[in-house]
Structure 1
Amino acid sequence: MHLNRLLDVLPVKSVFGSTEHTIRSIVHDSRRVKPGDVFVAIREPTGHDGHQYIDAAIDQGAVAVISEETQRNLPITTIEVPDTHIAFSLVAAKFFDFPASQLKMIGVTGTNGKTTVTFMIDAILRAAGMRSGLIGTTGSRYMDRPVAGAKSHTTPYPMQLHEALRTFVEENAEYAVMEVSSHGLVSDRLASVKFDLAVFTNLTRDHLNDHKTIEGYREAKMKLFSSHLDDSGCAVINKDDPSYAYFLDVSAAKVLTYALSSSADISRVGPVQCYSDRTVFNVEAYIGSTFPVSIPLPGRYNASNALAAMGVALSLNIPVDAILQGLKNVRVPGRLERIDCGQPFTVLVDSAHTPDALDSVLSACREWTVGALIVVFGCGGDRDRGKRPLMAKVACNHADYVILTTDNPRMEASDIIFRDTESGLASHVAAVTIEDREEAIDHAIKYARPDDTVLIAGKGDEAFQIVNDTYIEFDDRLVARQLIETHYG
């Protein structure tokens, strides 16, 4: 693609140099620039400023730079725009020929449940004979096959996002189902994307290191509905959440509500029965029918997730039989994922990393655990310090034994993270701090007795541990399996 074609979609303030270059790719990380690339200088909320790396990008072979600053004396083409975040999204969409416009786009936002709800929607669509792709925390995939896309971000950067969407289009997909993070929204990674359906799951404390207040966090989530949901689309909103009213009137789209604890367009009827391997409940829907639902995921909160997915499916007029079949078959990696090597106790891996998510997961485990409930968890470094003691308090409210360890300490000293977290521990609950995460998991497995439950929380299907600025291979599921086989194989 020629550079001058990219300019068609940009609100250009000035251009210096030739626009006749043939573009290889568009990059925002100067370390990844190759000859023929356009470099986009992005200012991140962390303070990282891509404008400081323009010279490095030139040295790597960039033929043009998109910048928020006037750059008159550079040896390459310079394009000045008001906002490089928006510009990056626009040129990425143009580079891949606007794939989002060729798909029915379904976006899911909220603090907890995004991954599970997207997997449920995908399973339902496939049970109905429709072709869909998934984008989110677990990566980008089409029909269970990984495709291009960044796994390190819930909502990928624009080039990875549109590359995945282009793959879906080429595979003749009808739908793209994706997680939409607050970071992705406020950094305008989705500036070029309109959604046909948008789902709000819940809002609890998270990412306050970025958004500062819960109100700021809520405003970020609302942007999916106010700026990206097509007026002819549909909003599916959790009526049980205290913030739901804020999401009702921010777009002109049709609204469907769902709820476990109150009346709604899609609501639970009667008890929610939770078992170690499934959840069973009845649903009453606005279409005038009541039907039983069984999902192979334990926990009352997963019943809520299922209602959200059902809201999307019903808005698409998918038959109830296909909805029930899809939910019956859904599998979600790293969400209460069972690690079974024949040991006489239960080992589960889950991504819960907020106080509310940990509370929900531990509550579910407590319902079926006959013996002791053991939890291994940590708190992320360089993140909201205020939630650390809350995590410990939640753990002590449910578990019989708490094992505190590291979870992506990043640039922060582990002893500071531990001190913050330990301040929330209760004196009546046995607890130990083990810095090495593998040793902590090993300790839990050696400590467990028949009928106990070991919950390894925080990372889910993540395959790395972030120490300083280095990504080290580490997968809780693989580590747990290896340790169980060592002790019980």
Structure 2
Amino acid sequence: MKLKDILEGYPHSLNGNKDIENIDINSIVFDSRKCEEGSMFVCIVGYETDGHKYIDSALKLGVKVICHSEELEGYKDDITYIKCENTRNALAYFANRFYSFPSKNLKLIGVSGTNGKTSFCDIAHTLFENLGFKTDYIGTLGRKNTKLEGQIIRTTPEITELTKDFSDMVKNDVDYCFLEVSSHGLVLDRVSFLNFYIGVFSNLSMDHLDFHKTMEEYYQAKKKLYYMVDRFSVINIDDDYGHRLYNELKEDKKDVISFGEKEQSDYKITIKELSLSKSSFTLTKGNNKYDFVINSIGKFNIYNVTPAIIIALEEGIGYEKIKEAILRYHGTNGRIERVAEDIFIDYAHTPDAMEKILKLIREVSSKKITLVFGCGGNRDHGKRPIMGSVSEKYADNIILTMDNPRKEKNEDIIKDILNGIKNKDKTEIIYDRKEAINKAVRNKKDDEIVLVLGKGHETYQELGDKKIYFSDREEILNSLK
């Protein structure tokens, strides 16, 4: 694509070679190591490094176009320098231009919230696939398209990856794409200039305050998504922040649909049965009642599946088809996943998610709970004692262990967790996660449930700067041999 066409419509100034009509761009990159002839290198000021430092590296690899935000010491006549106020935002615009704004030709459904994003996307992707649509999913579990499938580093990938993926989806005639939209992704322009068909809000609770600093800042970051939606947003109003969001969107004349157990919900949830094998509930909209059974555990999974059902109903799909298709869903990898009899793993790594799972087990079983968990290093310290307090409230036995300590000492992380636990007698510390799981599983009694939290689908431990292979599921199965 010609550089002139990429820049069209975005504020910028030029230095060096200004003949933008005759410059061809083959790729847009922000990592100098991926530069090649024909690349546009966009200098991003990050939290650990600054892309401006790598301009010379990019030039040595044959780059002739540099996008920057800071004044440079000198400008070469044969290089095109594009100065923009915010290069993250510029990167998003240029990537969308380069791929002809591909999300306009998809039904892109974005979900945001602290917990439930992955489960919703997995459920919705599976539901619409079972209904006969061609669907894709991008998020924590990776990519579900056969050509794109694989792990991703972030919940919401960088915009250069997303726009390329969406372009491929359009070429492959994909009908719906379900995208996890993180607060980081919203703040750091990873989803800017995308066209969202529908938005979904799950809930908001304490997390990522190392990045956002306050819950208000966190909420405002999440809120951005719902002003990028073309059709309507589906909001959980049983959540306090969801109720606030619903009212604020209504005030701003946005189309919104509410769900929850509250009487005023557009789609009212009535829970009929919860067990360790299935859940059943009724959705009521006006005079219409829709009964559903799902092969997933817990009230929170009803809240995860409900927006997917609402979207299907609002898209004009028949109730009986939806009811039959949802029965074919058997749970999300690493989300309250039964690995063996009375042994479960889950990704829960926030106080809210932990409490929901522990409450669920208490509601559907009278068995004792042995809980294995830790907290991530170099992340929000404030949630650690809260998670300690939650664990003490619901679990009979607690084993504290490592969970991605990164560059922080395990002793310091666990000390923070212990600050929230008053009765230390039922708490044991085993730093090695393999040993912690092994002890919990091998010592398990018939009247006991073992719950291993924090990793779920993850297959690694972050130790220092390295990722070491590790799977809770595999360690549990090995312990049972």
Fold shared per TM-score above 0.5: yes
* 1:360–1:7 CA distance, 2 compared to 1 (3 A): same
2:442 corresponds to: 446
Contact 1:273 1:281 in 2 (8 A): yes
Does residue 358 of the first structure (1) align with residue 341 of the second (2)? no
Q: For 2:439 and 2:28, how far apart are their aligned partners in 1? A: 47
Does residue 86 of the first structure (1) align with residue 84 of the second (2)? no
Higher deviation after alignment, 363-372 or 467-476: 363-372
1:140 corresponds to: 143
Q: For 2:468 and 2:10, how far apart are their aligned partners in 1? A: 38
Does residue 412 of the first structure (1) align with residue 408 of the second (2)? yes
Instruction: State the Cα distance separating 1:157 from its structure 2 match.
Output: 0.3
2:234 is aligned, of 215, 236, 244, to 236
Structure 1 gaps, min length 5: none
What fraction of aligned residue pairs are identical, expressed as a percent?
34
Contact 2:338 2:344 in 1 (8 A): yes
Higher deviation after alignment, 368-377 or 351-360: 368-377
Q: For 1:243 and 1:277, how far apart are their aligned partners in 2? A: 30
Offset from partner CA, 1:334-389 (integer Å, 9 cap, x none):
1111213xxxx422111101000000111112233443311111111111101000
Structure 2 gaps, min length 5: none
Q: How many positions carry a matched residue from both structures?
A: 473
2:261 corresponds to: 260
Contact 2:442 2:479 in 1 (8 A): no
Q: Secondary structure at the match of 1:258?
A: strand
Higher deviation after alignment, 466-475 or 297-306: 466-475
Contact 1:205 1:355 in 2 (8 A): yes
Contact 2:236 2:243 in 1 (8 A): no
1:309 corresponds to: 308
1:8 corresponds to: 8
Contact 2:14 2:80 in 1 (8 A): no
* 1:11–1:307 CA distance, 2 compared to 1 (3 A): same
Higher deviation after alignment, 10-19 or 167-176: 10-19
Q: 2:309 is aligned with what amino acid?
A: M
2:126 corresponds to: 123
Matches within 5 A, 1:86-485: 86-142=89-145, 145=146, 147=148, 151-226=152-227, 228-230=228-230, 233-248=231-246, 249-250=248-249, 251-269=252-270, 271-286=271-286, 288-330=287-329, 331-340=331-340, 345-427=341-423, 430-484=426-480
2:25 is aligned, of 13, 20, 23, to 23
Q: Give the RMSD, CA atoms, in angstroms.
A: 2.1
Q: 2:148 is aligned with what amino acid?
A: V
Q: For 2:369 and 2:36, how far apart are their aligned partners in 1? A: 52
Q: TM-score, normalised by structure 2?
A: 0.92
Contact 1:150 1:156 in 2 (8 A): no
Contact 1:127 1:325 in 2 (8 A): no
Q: 2:242 is aligned with what amino acid?
A: Y
Q: For 2:356 and 2:425, how far apart are their aligned partners in 1? A: 19
Offset from partner CA, 1:381-438 (integer Å, 9 cap, x none):
1111010001111111111111111212222222221111111123165111222222
* 1:277–1:55 CA distance, 2 compared to 1 (3 A): farther
Q: TM-score, normalised by structure 1?
A: 0.91
Q: Secondary structure at the match of 1:385?
A: coil
Q: Secondary structure at the match of 1:453?
A: strand
* 1:9–1:381 CA distance, 2 compared to 1 (3 A): farther
Contact 1:464 1:471 in 2 (8 A): yes
Contact 1:35 1:63 in 2 (8 A): yes
Contact 1:369 1:451 in 2 (8 A): no
Contact 2:277 2:296 in 1 (8 A): yes
Instruction: State the Cα distance separating 1:202 from its structure 2 match.
Output: 0.7
Q: For 2:238 and 2:131, how far apart are their aligned partners in 1? A: 28
Q: For 1:263 and 1:373, how far apart are their aligned partners in 2? A: 36
* 1:234–1:125 CA distance, 2 compared to 1 (3 A): same
Instruction: State the Cα distance separating 1:258 from its structure 2 match.
Output: 0.2
Higher deviation after alignment, 422-431 or 252-261: 422-431
Q: For 1:429 and 1:13, how far apart are their aligned partners in 2? A: 66
* 1:4–1:256 CA distance, 2 compared to 1 (3 A): same
Contact 2:279 2:296 in 1 (8 A): yes
* 1:359–1:475 CA distance, 2 compared to 1 (3 A): same
Q: For 1:23 and 1:429, how far apart are their aligned partners in 2? A: 64
Q: Secondary structure at the match of 1:107?
A: strand
Q: Secondary structure at the match of 2:100?
A: coil
* 1:440–1:35 CA distance, 2 compared to 1 (3 A): farther
Q: Secondary structure at the match of 1:408?
A: coil
Instruction: State the Cα distance separating 1:21 from its structure 2 match.
Output: 4.5
Contact 1:6 1:91 in 2 (8 A): yes
Q: Secondary structure at the match of 1:329?
A: coil
Q: Secondary structure at the match of 1:177?
A: strand
Contact 1:203 1:218 in 2 (8 A): yes
Q: 1:276 is aligned with what amino acid?
A: L
Higher deviation after alignment, 300-309 or 247-256: 247-256
Contact 2:109 2:197 in 1 (8 A): yes
Q: Secondary structure at the match of 1:376?
A: strand
